[in-house]
Structure 1
Amino acid sequence: MASGSELRPRRGVLEICIHSAKWVPVLFLAAVIVWSYYAYVVQLCLITVQSTIEKIIYLIGYHFFLAIFLWAYWQTIFTPIATVPQKFQLPGEDLEKVLNPENEHTARIVIESFAQSLPVVNRTINGAVRYCEKCTHIKPDRAHHCSVCGTCVLKMDHHCPWVNNCVSFTNYKFFILFLGYAFLYCLFIVLTSLKFIILFWKVHTEEVAGMGKFHVLFVFFVAAMFATSLLSLFIYHCYLVSHNRTTLEAFRAPVFPSGPDKNGFSLGKYNNFQEVFGDQRVLWFVPLFTSLGDGVVWPAKSDHEVDSLISNNHQQRVQQV
């Protein structure tokens, strides 16, 4: 039977393998992007397209959409998640009572007593304060525990394997821009290569034959497939933004003291949009963080709270300057 010291190296190797496996979807997309660059720039623009002006227009447009798409993708992947502040962590004495309660009601009483000093409104379906047994802290409103990241994440939307990251408060804007710009990138490839796809089907000569033709045909169909999927996801998340919901909240409405309410955080479509994209219009579609709030406190349906959120964000930005 293996001893503890022998199991530790094995466990370390297993963790490294699991961590590496999480990057497989990202590396797959990176490979597709690199190949699509070759197929479009080399095989289509430099070899197939004959007009110099047409080459220049295609290349400029392609590189613009590629750059803005990759910028948003990078931000989505590498922006760190926002974790729960220390003030939500139960102190040692209270934690001991929760982990080793005298009876079934002791833990709930301790948690509810500690939560009275915290800005939490959401409850469990049973009306109790939301508490994470794995992280041993009170969950802020809209925060959820991610089993992949191994921690609670502020305003968690979902964990996306294609970015190897939680889509949450800190990168939700980047994720939506990534979907939108990736769709435009694919759409640009489809529209600009369409006439050559038609030409390939109509003309059967050595000039349009060979592997070059295969690459152009394949990049057209791959781009069309991705564009369809991306558009559906983009529209869905625009719908969620307009109603101020996360993917998790769309499946299970957040519970307030008054009961479940799927529109509990909705502040009106414009304010909902501002909460994600910020109040600086010039930066709405730029992959830079401009979301309002701190990820912990979320205004409900109250004009006073909406104004307070926007005012506080403005004051924070003035102080930083």
Structure 2
Amino acid sequence: QAQGCRLVCGLRCCQRVFSWIPVLIITCVVLWSYYAYVFELCLFTLTNTLEKVAYLLVFHVCFVMFSWTYWKSIFTPPASPCKKFQLSYSDKQRYEMEERPDAQKQILVEIAKKLPIFSRAQSGAIRFCDRCQVLKPDRCHHCSVCETCVLKMDHHCPWVNNCVGFANYKFFLLFLSYSMLYCVFIAATVFQYFLKFWGDLPNGPAKFHVLFLMFVALMFFVSLMFLFGYHCWLVAKNRSTLEAFSAPVFINGPDRNGFNVSTRRNLQQVFGEDRRLWFIPVFTSQGNGHYFPLKNRSSESHNSLLANEDMWEESDDGSEEGSLGESLSFCHMHIYTSMHSL
């Protein structure tokens, strides 16, 4: 048994090491493109000083924004459900000791009444993660690679070696957009020298770098264009990649547009209300990832927690904060809380 555990740990370590290979490939390509553009093209090939300075200035702005967003996409941890969605000790004992599946489902239903949970499993049951031992908030899914539940999980991206979800979805979109801008600028400024090297200019190290730089920039731009366009459509519809393939299920059944609350509000959920910060890789997404407004507001009325207030949050110290004045008595189970932007 000890050998089996060591073998599993060894395989996991190997998996973690190999998972960084795509990131290493992207990093090497970008570093090479930096050398090829800055040194081989701008410093060794260009003769016009004004053109050289302008190219270097704009290039470094694109390079910094690309690197910043890529870094944030990689190293921003995927947000996981807070403690409120974990079973208490007594509830966990009651759930594990119960052998009847129907009774277990009813236990989860009773616990979920106190939480802002409106989506369901395909069977209609409360979504529960046996591995993480948490009730899944709306749009939350378990990632088998990260081995954790991720809030508003979109997908696991090998190119950033991270889950793309609520905490870093804005960074991922900006990474795609600045990657496209980086490729477009390189292709546009290299094109005339690509033609010259292809015809008149003599062979040399710069010729290889400039020709190859043009092909690589165009190749990456085409692939990124389709991916970025797809995610723009997802943002406009307020869907994740997982929800695009499998519609979220509510009490009234599956609904692909269950979280679609208008294009403007959908954009604000991802980028925030301050448009000056939309294109800067700082976290401005609305909410805390545990609750999202629904298109069909009547479906919220079954949960007394949100009957009159559609926002909820756990405070930093783990306590609940009320913003509706006096709370009603516990026997009626009307507890109103408000959700502040992180």
* TM-score (normalised: structure 2): 0.85
2:293 & 2:339 partners in 1: Cα distance?
17
TM alignment of 1:232-311, pairs within 5 A: 232-301=226-295
Q: CA deviation at 1:105?
A: 1.5
- In the alignment, structure 1 residue 154 sits paired with structure 2 residue 148: no
Aligned to 2:83: 86
2:129 & 2:250 partners in 1: Cα distance?
18
2:30 paired residue among 15, 30, 33: 33
- In the alignment, structure 1 residue 72 sits paired with structure 2 residue 69: yes
- Percent identity over the alignment is 48
Aligned to 2:329: none
Q: CA deviation at 1:116?
A: 1.4
**One-letter code of the match for 1:169?**
F
Aligned to 2:115: 118
2:173 & 2:145 partners in 1: Cα distance?
21
Do the aligned partners of 2:287 and 2:339 also contact (CA within 8 Å) in 1?
Answer: no
Instruction: Give the direction of change, closer, same or farther, for the CA distance of 1:202–1:70 in structure 2 (3 Å limit).
Output: same
1:316 & 1:112 partners in 2: Cα distance?
26
Do the aligned partners of 2:268 and 2:285 also contact (CA within 8 Å) in 1?
Answer: yes
Tell me the alpha carbon deviations over residues 191-243 of structure 1, each in whole angstroms, 9 at most, x when there is no partner: 0000011112221x5xx312221111111100110011111111111111111
- In the alignment, structure 1 residue 218 sits paired with structure 2 residue 212: yes
1:79 & 1:298 partners in 2: Cα distance?
21
Tell me the alpha carbon deviations over residues 14-48 of structure 1, each in whole angstroms, 9 at most, x when there is no partner: 32221111111111111111111111111111111
Instruction: Give the direction of change, closer, same or farther, for the CA distance of 1:309–1:97 in structure 2 (3 Å limit).
Output: closer
Aligned to 1:181: 178
Tell me the alpha carbon deviations over residues 96-141 of structure 1, each in whole angstroms, 9 at most, x when there is no partner: 4434533232211211122111110001122111111211221100
Instruction: Give the direction of change, closer, same or farther, for the CA distance of 1:309–1:51 in structure 2 (3 Å limit).
Output: farther
**One-letter code of the match for 2:192?**
K
Do the aligned partners of 2:258 and 2:296 also contact (CA within 8 Å) in 1?
Answer: no
Instruction: Give the direction of change, closer, same or farther, for the CA distance of 1:199–1:309 in structure 2 (3 Å limit).
Output: farther
**One-letter code of the match for 1:141?**
D
1:36 & 1:129 partners in 2: Cα distance?
50
* TM-score (normalised: structure 1): 0.90
Do the aligned partners of 1:89 and 1:136 also contact (CA within 8 Å) in 2?
Answer: yes
1:97 & 1:303 partners in 2: Cα distance?
33
Aligned-pair RMSD on alpha carbons?
A: 2.3
1:101 & 1:303 partners in 2: Cα distance?
34
Aligned to 2:100: 103
Q: Secondary structure at the match of 1:48?
A: coil
Structure with the higher fraction of residues in helix conformation: 1
Do the aligned partners of 1:97 and 1:106 also contact (CA within 8 Å) in 2?
Answer: no
**One-letter code of the match for 1:282?**
R
**One-letter code of the match for 2:136?**
K
The farther-off stretch of 296-305 and 254-263 is: 296-305
1:198 paired residue among 182, 195, 199: 195
Instruction: Give the direction of change, closer, same or farther, for the CA distance of 1:141–1:33 in structure 2 (3 Å limit).
Output: same
**One-letter code of the match for 1:12?**
C
**One-letter code of the match for 1:31?**
C
**One-letter code of the match for 1:244?**
N
Q: Secondary structure at the match of 1:166?
A: strand
Q: CA deviation at 1:63?
A: 0.4
Instruction: Give the direction of change, closer, same or farther, for the CA distance of 1:235–1:100 in structure 2 (3 Å limit).
Output: same
Task: Point out where structure 2 has 5 or more consecutive residues left out of the alignment.
Answer: 299-305, 313-322, 324-337
